[in-house]
Amino acid sequence: MANRFSDWQKDLSAELIKSKKRRKMYFEALQEEYDNDLEVLRAIVKVMGLKEFSNLCGLPSSNISNYLKKGKDLKVSTIKKLIAPFGIKVVNIPLDLAA
Protein backbone atom coordinates (compact mmCIF):
# COMPACT_ATOMS: atom_id res chain seq x y z
CA MET A 1 0.00 0.00 0.00
CA ALA A 2 1.16 3.54 -0.76
CA ASN A 3 2.49 5.75 2.00
CA ARG A 4 -0.17 7.89 3.66
CA PHE A 5 -0.04 11.13 5.59
CA SER A 6 -0.31 10.54 9.32
CA ASP A 7 -3.52 12.65 9.22
CA TRP A 8 -5.23 10.29 6.74
CA GLN A 9 -8.56 9.01 8.00
CA LYS A 10 -10.02 6.15 5.99
CA ASP A 11 -13.66 6.56 7.07
CA LEU A 12 -13.73 10.34 6.73
CA SER A 13 -12.00 10.05 3.38
CA ALA A 14 -14.68 7.66 2.12
CA GLU A 15 -17.46 10.00 3.29
CA LEU A 16 -15.87 13.02 1.64
CA ILE A 17 -15.42 11.13 -1.63
CA LYS A 18 -19.07 10.03 -1.68
CA SER A 19 -20.76 13.34 -0.92
CA LYS A 20 -20.13 16.78 -2.44
CA LYS A 21 -22.35 18.26 0.28
CA ARG A 22 -20.13 16.77 3.01
CA ARG A 23 -17.00 17.98 1.20
CA LYS A 24 -18.41 21.51 1.10
CA MET A 25 -19.42 21.42 4.77
CA TYR A 26 -15.99 20.07 5.78
CA PHE A 27 -14.21 22.70 3.68
CA GLU A 28 -16.30 25.49 5.22
CA ALA A 29 -15.66 24.17 8.73
CA LEU A 30 -11.90 24.16 8.13
CA GLN A 31 -12.01 27.71 6.74
CA GLU A 32 -12.62 28.87 10.31
CA GLU A 33 -9.37 27.23 11.44
CA TYR A 34 -6.99 28.29 8.66
CA ASP A 35 -5.88 31.65 7.27
CA ASN A 36 -6.61 30.86 3.62
CA ASP A 37 -8.15 28.24 1.37
CA LEU A 38 -4.82 26.90 0.17
CA GLU A 39 -4.06 25.87 3.76
CA VAL A 40 -7.53 24.31 3.95
CA LEU A 41 -6.78 22.32 0.79
CA ARG A 42 -3.48 21.10 2.24
CA ALA A 43 -5.27 19.89 5.37
CA ILE A 44 -8.05 18.18 3.41
CA VAL A 45 -5.63 16.40 1.09
CA LYS A 46 -3.82 15.02 4.13
CA VAL A 47 -7.09 13.74 5.60
CA MET A 48 -8.65 12.56 2.33
CA GLY A 49 -5.56 11.16 0.66
CA LEU A 50 -3.65 12.51 -2.33
CA LYS A 51 -4.78 9.74 -4.68
CA GLU A 52 -8.43 10.17 -3.73
CA PHE A 53 -8.27 13.95 -4.10
CA SER A 54 -6.52 13.54 -7.44
CA ASN A 55 -9.39 11.37 -8.69
CA LEU A 56 -11.94 14.00 -7.62
CA CYS A 57 -10.07 16.85 -9.33
CA GLY A 58 -9.10 14.96 -12.43
CA LEU A 59 -5.50 16.14 -12.00
CA PRO A 60 -2.40 13.96 -11.60
CA SER A 61 -1.44 13.45 -7.96
CA SER A 62 2.13 14.59 -8.68
CA ASN A 63 0.78 17.93 -9.94
CA ILE A 64 -1.45 18.36 -6.91
CA SER A 65 1.47 17.60 -4.63
CA ASN A 66 3.50 20.32 -6.36
CA TYR A 67 0.62 22.80 -6.33
CA LEU A 68 0.13 22.45 -2.59
CA LYS A 69 3.76 22.99 -1.61
CA LYS A 70 4.30 26.06 0.52
CA GLY A 71 5.65 29.01 -1.42
CA LYS A 72 4.19 27.78 -4.72
CA ASP A 73 2.52 30.44 -6.91
CA LEU A 74 -0.70 29.21 -8.48
CA LYS A 75 -2.78 30.39 -11.40
CA VAL A 76 -6.37 31.26 -10.61
CA SER A 77 -7.46 28.56 -13.09
CA THR A 78 -5.48 25.95 -11.11
CA ILE A 79 -7.00 27.10 -7.83
CA LYS A 80 -10.47 26.77 -9.37
CA LYS A 81 -9.70 23.18 -10.40
CA LEU A 82 -8.50 22.33 -6.89
CA ILE A 83 -11.55 23.94 -5.25
CA ALA A 84 -14.12 22.54 -7.73
CA PRO A 85 -14.81 19.25 -5.84
CA PHE A 86 -16.05 21.30 -2.87
CA GLY A 87 -18.62 23.45 -4.65
CA ILE A 88 -16.95 26.60 -3.29
CA LYS A 89 -17.39 29.72 -5.43
CA VAL A 90 -15.45 32.38 -3.51
CA VAL A 91 -11.82 31.59 -2.83
CA ASN A 92 -9.71 33.11 -0.06
CA ILE A 93 -6.12 32.90 -1.35
CA PRO A 94 -3.55 35.63 -0.69
CA LEU A 95 -2.71 37.57 -3.85
CA ASP A 96 0.98 36.67 -3.57
CA LEU A 97 0.07 32.97 -3.96
CA ALA A 98 -2.33 33.40 -6.89
CA ALA A 99 -0.51 34.52 -10.04
Instruction: Calculate mean pLDDT across residues 82-96.
Output: 76
d(CA 8, CA 94): 26
pLDDT at residue 53, rounded to an integer: 93
Residues 6+ apart with CB under 8 A from 42: 68
pLDDT at residue 21, rounded to an integer: 93
**For 33-87, what is each residue's pLDDT tens digit?**
988 888 888 899 888 889 999 999 999 999 998 888 877 777 778 888 888 899 8
Contact 65, 46 (CB under 8 A): no
pLDDT at residue 1, rounded to an integer: 40
Residues 6+ apart with CB under 8 A from 13: 47, 48, 49, 52
**For 30-44, what is each residue's pLDDT tens digit?**
989 988 888 888 899
